[in-house]
Homo-oligomer: A and B are copies of this chain.
Amino acid sequence: MGSRKTVMRAGTRARRQSILSAALDCFTRFGLASTTVEDICRESGASIGSLYHHFGSKEGVASGVFIDGIQRLNADLVKKLKRRKSAEAGVRLVVTQYCDWVTKHPDLARFLLHSRDIAFPDAARAELKRIHRDYIVEVFSWFAPFVTAGDMKRLPPDTYVPIISGPIQDYTRNWLAGQSQSSPVEVKGIFADAAWAAMRTVR
């Protein structure tokens, strides 16, 4: 994870990365619970000692994959959000961009959506909290002016993300689990409509 106090050697980044991508591969094929540390070592070419040196535990590896993924997802959204000019365009973007991202990275998305509840190590929990806070600050400061201007409802801060993103995430989880026919891309307009209907002010 980007925040290492100590120096990181040349080959180290590559080794860490090979472990992370082997892990995602195994999680996708066998499921988190059924992949063994040995599986990840075999796939990545790392030794047990090396894996434990870098990640501390199997769940440490999982949290590495998770943090990596969430950072990419967040970064992609923030970048695009800055090009929008209206509250409606912003709200719709949050929904549609999520659909596009999930379609482009289905394995990673499946892992992110199904691993929310892993008992991550404390260090990882702390870093995730920091990442989430930074993300929320950035997104909220983009939306804030529109709330002030009366384009969007003024609600308790904690309720915006569930209302805007909750439905599409729920749908996507079902879809990735094979329980919905239409791909998120096909229904993204419907969810964008729903999100905007819930957020817009009537004047």
With contacts A34-B119, A198-B197, A198-B198 taken as known, whether A168 is within 8 angstroms of B162 at the C-beta atoms is: yes
A7 within 8 A of B: no
A37 within 8 A of B: no
Interface of A: prevailing SS? helix
Chain B residue with Cβ nearest A114:
B117
A173 and B182 CA atoms in complex are apart in Å by 26
A1 within 8 A of B: no
A12 within 8 A of B: no
Q: Is the CB of B114 within 8 A of A156?
A: no
A155 within 8 A of B: yes
- Tell me the smallest distance from the CB of A60 to a CB of chain B, in Å: 14
A114 and B119 CA atoms in complex are apart in Å by 11
A93 within 8 A of B: no
Number of interface residues of A (CB under 8 A): 37
Q: Is the CB of B155 within 8 A of A161?
A: no
A189-202 near B? 1/0 per residue, CB < 8 Å: 01101110111000
Closest CB pairs A-B (n = 4): A166-B170, A162-B170, A194-B198, A166-B166
Give 27 CB contacts A-B under 8 Å. Answer: A33-B119, A34-B119, A117-B117, A156-B182, A156-B187, A156-B190, A158-B171, A158-B181, A158-B182, A159-B171, A159-B187, A159-B190, A162-B166, A162-B168, A162-B170, A162-B171, A162-B191, A163-B167, A165-B170, A166-B167, A166-B168, A166-B169, A166-B170, A167-B167, A193-B198, A195-B198, A198-B198
